[in-house]
Amino acid sequence: MAHKSKTQRAKAAAAKANRKERQARDEVAAESVAAAKAAEQASMTAAELKREEKAEAKAAAAAAKAEKKAQEEAEAAKKPKKKHFQFFRDVKAEMKRVTWPTRQDVLQWSGVVVAALIFFGVYVFVLDSGIIVPVLTALSGLGA
């Protein structure tokens, strides 16, 4: 493990001292709040004490309810939402992005495809009937 520099050690020591100081202040503040509450409760009547306890219970119940609601929302956010028609919406969006050919382009390329089919059909016909078949018949006649 690498050693810390003097600056890093000084910063860490200062942060530790600040944490201890904050913790001491928090403890003093908590003690003073507790003392003030105890003094207030001592001066309260029994009815006032019950009201105070009910108010505290209501506040605790509200906090618990809010925490439970937040937890449920967090769980609901984790679950994937059902998107019944999402596929069709995506298809529609993709179809809008397609660059569709014009009518002239379609006719032009259709002509190119038909011409290529005719050319290769004639080429295969000539090759088959003009060269392959006569060669095969000549070879088969040699063996008989």
Tell me the domain boundaries of the chain: 1-43, 46-77, 93-143
Q: Give the Cα separation of 48 and 56 in Å (integer).
A: 12
Query: Which residue has better confidence, 105 or 40?
Result: 105
Amino acid letter at 28? V
Query: Average pLDDT of the chain?
Result: 85
- Name the range with the highest mean pLDDT among 18-22, 49-53, 92-96: 92-96
